[in-house]
């Protein structure tokens, strides 16, 4: 019997780290709670304390074993001790920072291959901010902010490749990134665009159903009905005409099926009298 793929969990950044910790708690519970082990990969961050901070958070949430894999050079991705850790853990969490640090240090290495293999076998993988951008096959490396799509205003790079169904952008509302997500989709409108506000995550199940967790909104841009794009004929920095896109704004508990492309609002919970 073919194993079920693990969850893929992009987080928009600045997730709650004190208080309810809804997103991190949900991920810890998904991995198995007190019976699980989680590896933290802080490669995207330039701050030395980042890995230790998440290690403490997951430990305080009751995770049996949280450990940092301190990848600082491509050569680290060949170390047997870190590959053995990835073979053992129930989940992996990629921190924020600069997504190009992830793609240049981890892309094409044994660690990248191990992450894809283990996720296919059922291990859950989450990433926040830069870590979220890196999860999919096509990664937004950088781009200009603004509400409208503009030619050549976005640079894409290969990501980790856990899925090719989506393109992710993070800090979405806070940094006015609708335009750059639309530009990325206009290059090739095969994928579905996911824009994640801060403290907001999409928990993508093995059946390709995404559920929103967190205090912000998750924006879905579905280009499957695209009727016209001017991307091929406009000059650099020109506005791009896109006709036929479908847009959904989803909040806590709402869902979107990446296969059927059907969105559903969160169920209404009746208040007790």
Q: Report DSSP letters for 184-244, one per residue.
A: HHHH-TTSEEEEE-TTEEEEE-TTSEEEEEESS-EEEEE-TT--EE-TTTPPTT-B--EES
Residue 35 has pLDDT above 50, yes or no: yes
Residue 233 CA to its chain's centroid (Å): 31
* Residue 18: how many other CB atoms lie within 10 Å: 6
Q: Transcribe 124-183 into DSSP letters.
A: EEEEETHHHHHTSSEEEEEE--SSS-BTT-EEEEE---S-SSEEEE-STTTTT-HHHHHH
> What is the reported pLDDT for 211?
98
Question: What pTM did the predictor assign?
Answer: 0.97
Give the catalytic positions in this structure: 129, 171, 198
Q: What is the mean pLDDT of residues 95-102?
A: 98
Residue 140 CA to its chain's centroid (Å): 11
> What is the reported pLDDT for 269?
76
Instruction: Give the separation between CA 195 and CA 170, rounded to whole angstroms.
Output: 6
Q: What is the mean pLDDT of residues 27-31?
A: 98
For residue 265 the two structure tokens come to 């609002």
Interval 114-152: pLDDT, tens: 999 999 999 999 999 999 999 999 999 999 999 999 999
> What is the reported pLDDT for 3?
86
pLDDT band for 270, please (50, 70, 90 cuts): low
For residue 13 the two structure tokens come to 């950044």
Q: What is the dihedral of CA 124, 128, 134, 136, to 10 degrees?
A: 50
Among candidate residues 210, 250, 171, 212, the one with its CA nearest the CA of residue 13: 171
Residue 213 has pLDDT above 50, yes or no: yes
Residue 164 CA to its chain's centroid (Å): 12
The rounded percent of the chain whose pLDDT value lies above 70 is 99
> What is the reported pLDDT for 273?
46
Instruction: Give the separation between CA 88 and CA 262, rounded to whole angstroms.
Output: 35
Residue 58 has pLDDT above 80, yes or no: yes
Q: What is the mean pLDDT of residues 211-223?
A: 98
- Domains in the chain, please, with CATH? 8-264 (3.40.50.880)
The rounded percent of the chain whose pLDDT value lies above 90 is 96
């Amino acid at each position: 019997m073919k194993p079920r793929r693990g969850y893929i969990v992009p987080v928009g950044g600045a997730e709650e780290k004190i208080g309810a910790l809804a997103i991190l708690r949900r991920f810890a519970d998904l991995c198995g709670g007190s019976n699980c082990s989680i590896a933290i990969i802080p490669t995207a961050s330039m701050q030395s304390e980042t890995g230790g901070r998440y290690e403490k958070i997951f430990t305080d949430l009751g995770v049996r074993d949280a450990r940092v894999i301190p990848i600082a050079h491509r050569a680290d991705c060949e170390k047997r001790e870190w590959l053995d850790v990835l073979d053992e853990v129930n989940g992996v969490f990629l921190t924020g920072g600069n997504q190009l640090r992830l793609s240049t240090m981890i892309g094409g290495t044994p660690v990248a291959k191990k992450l894809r293999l283990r996720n296919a076998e059922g291990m859950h993988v989450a990433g926040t901010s830069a870590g979220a951008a890196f999860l999919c096959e096509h990664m937004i490396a950088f781009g200009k902010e603004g509400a409208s799509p503009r030619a050549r205003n976005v640079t894409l790079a290969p990501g980790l490749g856990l899925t090719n169904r989506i393109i992710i952008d993070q800090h979405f509302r806070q940094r006015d990134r609708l335009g750059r997500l639309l530009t990325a989709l206009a290059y090739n409108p095969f994928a579905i665009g996911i824009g994640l506000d801060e403290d907001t995550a999409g928990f993508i199940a093995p059946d390709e159903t995404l559920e929103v967790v967190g205090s912000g909104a998750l924006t879905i841009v579905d280009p499957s009905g695209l009727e016209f794009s001017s991307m091929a004929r406009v000059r650099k920095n020109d506005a791009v005409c896109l006709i036929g896109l479908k847009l959904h704004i989803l909040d806590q508990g709402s869902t979107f099926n990446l296969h059927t492309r059907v969105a559903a609002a969160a169920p209404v919970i009746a208040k007790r009298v």
